[in-house]
């Protein structure tokens, strides 16, 4: 027979008691045994409760210790490194928080600011979108020049609040983002996490800081999307993005406008046009072309509709850095305090390009000349992956407002890149 509810609650097993009835009454001995057993159970229950509480307290202590040891920021020594890196060493200088500092553009901008005497603190999460060893090498380069990079994520509001508590940054150069057009089809959530949520987290920290910093951030030429009017001007419509990456950058422009309007943050958005050069991103075409040509592997060259060659407004990194620094220098002040707007603040958007689009096949020919090797070209039609057939920047606004003037053509820029590439990856070649 299955056990009754009474048997389940009071099982007849050694060490336990069983209710027995004798004309509905218990004798004195049975009552005594019942109370004695109940007292024993009560004491055991108290003991188990105390033991469990002690274990949980100990486990909490251990977990807290693990969390403390795993945190990569905080503490007296960490704060000292942040303050030292943020120190200004020139008259009229600025103290800049550079997000994405171990990235391609971020490392170059950080180095340029530090060399002229500005205070610079970097922030980077060292994700593995491409080989993190390249980011770590950039970090080592910056460390050797006195730039401290904090390892952390821009979505970490506590970390950002701590940084602004330790240093009263005058400016933020926001370059942290999930880059790449095609990768958005594989991992769309990473773009929302970094380019939208991360941007909002950073803006929240900036609007609450006292004083509020001025902000310069990286938008993208991708926002022009399916726009066919050339060259692309800042006044053109940007409501037809061709990729999720472009859509997140467009969303970023709308979000920054909102924070400027409500909280008085001074904000400048920069639409970069195909940046290339030493210490570049391995996912970019010029970088992967160089690698494959040297390894004797075929390269894939896309072409547009009707077999039209793709063209890009390739912009050398040094020219982009000039635009970034010029934007910081002319940014104007934020007008809010304690998260409240006290007056209108500057809101600007600039194209940073080279104004001289070059076809991808021409790019390959230049690389062949510098590498002294022929490429094995695989010509295919461009898939529907969000890429656009051409880009071309109108930079008249940046010339006028920032004094921006690109000086490096693709031939010269690629020569410098190839020289760096051969040296960094240990090839015994020279570049003429």
Q: Are 429 and 290 in contact (CB under 8 A)?
A: no
Is residue 289 within a helix (H) or strand (E), and if so which, with residue range? helix 285-294
Q: Tokens representing 352?
A: 């940073």
* Domain map (residue ranges) of the chain: 74-275+315-353+390-407
**pLDDT at residue 428, rounded to an integer:** 75
Residues for the chain: how many in total? 432
**pLDDT at residue 68, rounded to an integer:** 39
For residue 119, the tally of other CB atoms under 10 A from its CB is 26
From 245, 263, 286, 404, active-site residue: 245
Burial 286-317 (b: 16+ CB within 10 A, else e): bbebbeebbeeeebebbbeeeeebbbbbbbbb
**pLDDT at residue 252, rounded to an integer:** 98
**pLDDT at residue 304, rounded to an integer:** 76
**pLDDT at residue 5, rounded to an integer:** 33
Is residue 149 within a helix (H) or strand (E), and if so which, with residue range? strand 148-151
Distance CA 364, CA 333 (A): 44
Is residue 424 part of the annotated active site? The answer reads no
Is residue 202 within a helix (H) or strand (E), and if so which, with residue range? helix 198-208
Distance CA 132, CA 62 (A): 31
Model pTM score:
0.83
Query: What backbone phi and psi angles, to 5 degrees, belong to 16?
Result: -110, 170
Distance CA 8, CA 83 (A): 67
Distance CA 262, CA 253 (A): 14
> Which among 126, 349, 156, 344 is positioned nearest to 236, based on CA atoms?
349
- Using a 10 angstrom Cβ sphere, with 0-12 exposed, 13-18 middle and 19 or more buried, the burial of residue 135 is buried
First-to-last alpha carbon distance for the chain, in angstroms, is 95
Q: How far is CA 171 from the centre of its chain?
A: 18
Q: Tokens representing 146?
A: 């006195």
Provide CB contacts within 8 A for 120, sequence distance 6+.
85, 86, 95, 96, 98, 101, 110, 113, 114, 147
Q: Are 303 and 377 in contact (CB under 8 A)?
A: no
> Which among 290, 431, 293 is positioned nearest to 370, based on CA atoms?
431
DSSP state letter for 211: S
Distance CA 324, CA 352 (A): 9
DSSP string, 372-401: TS--EEEEEEPPSSS--SB--B--HHHHHH
Q: What is the pLDDT along the chain (432 residues), one digit of tens a residue?
A: 444 333 333 333 333 333 334 444 445 445 445 444 555 555 555 555 555 455 544 454 444 444 433 457 889 999 999 999 999 999 999 999 999 999 999 999 999 999 999 999 999 999 999 999 999 999 999 999 999 999 999 999 999 999 999 999 999 999 999 998 888 889 999 999 999 999 999 999 999 999 999 999 999 999 999 888 889 999 999 999 999 999 999 999 999 999 999 999 999 999 999 999 999 999 999 999 999 999 999 999 988 777 789 999 999 999 999 999 999 999 999 999 878 899 999 999 999 999 999 999 999 999 999 999 999 999 988 776 556 788 999 999 999 999 999 999 999 999 999 999 999 999 877 776
**pLDDT at residue 44, rounded to an integer:** 56
What angle in degrees, to the nearest 10, is found between the helix axes of 104-115 and 317-329? 60
Q: CA torsion angle for 239, 243, 245, 246 (degrees, to 10)?
A: -30
- Using a 10 angstrom Cβ sphere, with 0-12 exposed, 13-18 middle and 19 or more buried, the burial of residue 326 is buried
Q: Are 119 and 96 in contact (CB under 8 A)?
A: yes
CATH architecture of 74-275+315-353+390-407: 3-Layer(aba) Sandwich (3.40)
Q: Tokens representing 272?
A: 């970069």
**pLDDT at residue 91, rounded to an integer:** 97
């Amino acid at each position: 027979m299955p056990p009754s509810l009474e048997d389940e609650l009071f099982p007849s097993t050694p060490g336990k008691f069983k209710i027995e009835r004798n004309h509905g009454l218990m004798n004195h001995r049975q009552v005594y045994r019942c109370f004695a057993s109940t007292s024993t159970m009560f004491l055991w229950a108290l003991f188990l409760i105390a033991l469990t509480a002690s274990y949980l307290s100990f486990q909490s202590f251990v977990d807290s210790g693990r969390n403390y040891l795993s945190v990569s920021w905080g503490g007296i020594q960490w704060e000292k490194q942040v303050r030292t890196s943020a120190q200004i060493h020139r008259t009229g200088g600025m103290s800049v928080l550079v997000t994405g500092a171990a990235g391609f553009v971020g490392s170059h901008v950080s180095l340029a600011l530090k060399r002229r005497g500005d205070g610079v603190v970097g922030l980077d999460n060292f994700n593995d979108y491409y080989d993190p060893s390249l980011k770590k090498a950039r970090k080592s380069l910056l460390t050797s020049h006195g730039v401290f990079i904090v390892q952390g994520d821009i979505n970490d509001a506590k970390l950002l609040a701590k940084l602004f508590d330790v240093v009263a940054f005058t400016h933020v150069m926001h370059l942290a983002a999930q880059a790449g057009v095609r990768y958005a089809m594989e991992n769309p959530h990473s773009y929302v996490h970094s380019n939208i949520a991360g941007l909002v987290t950073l803006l929240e920290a900036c609007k609450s800081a006292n004083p509020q910093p001025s902000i310069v951030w990286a938008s993208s030429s991708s926002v022009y999307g399916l726009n066919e009017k050339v060259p692309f001007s800042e006044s053109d419509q940007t409501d037809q993005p061709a990729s999720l990456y472009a859509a997140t950058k467009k969303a970023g422009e709308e979000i920054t406008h909102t924070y400027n309007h409500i909280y008085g943050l001074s904000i400048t958005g920069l639409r970069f046009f195909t940046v290339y050069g030493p210490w570049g991103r391995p996912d970019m075409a010029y970088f992967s072309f160089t690698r494959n040509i040297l390894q004797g592997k075929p390269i894939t060259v896309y072409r547009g509709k009707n077999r039209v060659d793709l063209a890009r407004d390739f912009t050398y990194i040094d020219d982009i850095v000039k635009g970034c620094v010029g934007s910081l220098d002319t940014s104007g002040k934020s007008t809010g305090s304690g998260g409240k707007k006290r007056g209108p603040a500057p809101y600007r958007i600039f194209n940073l390009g080279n104004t001289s689009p070059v076809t991808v096949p021409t790019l390959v020919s230049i690389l062949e000349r510098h590498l002294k090797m022929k490429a094995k070209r695989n010509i295919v039609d461009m898939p529907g992956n969000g890429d656009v057939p051409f880009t071309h920047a109108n930079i008249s606004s940046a010339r006028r407002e920032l004094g921006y003037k690109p000086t490096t053509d693709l031939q010269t820029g690629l020569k410098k890149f190839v020289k760096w590439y051969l040296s960094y990856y240990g090839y015994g070649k020279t570049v003429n």
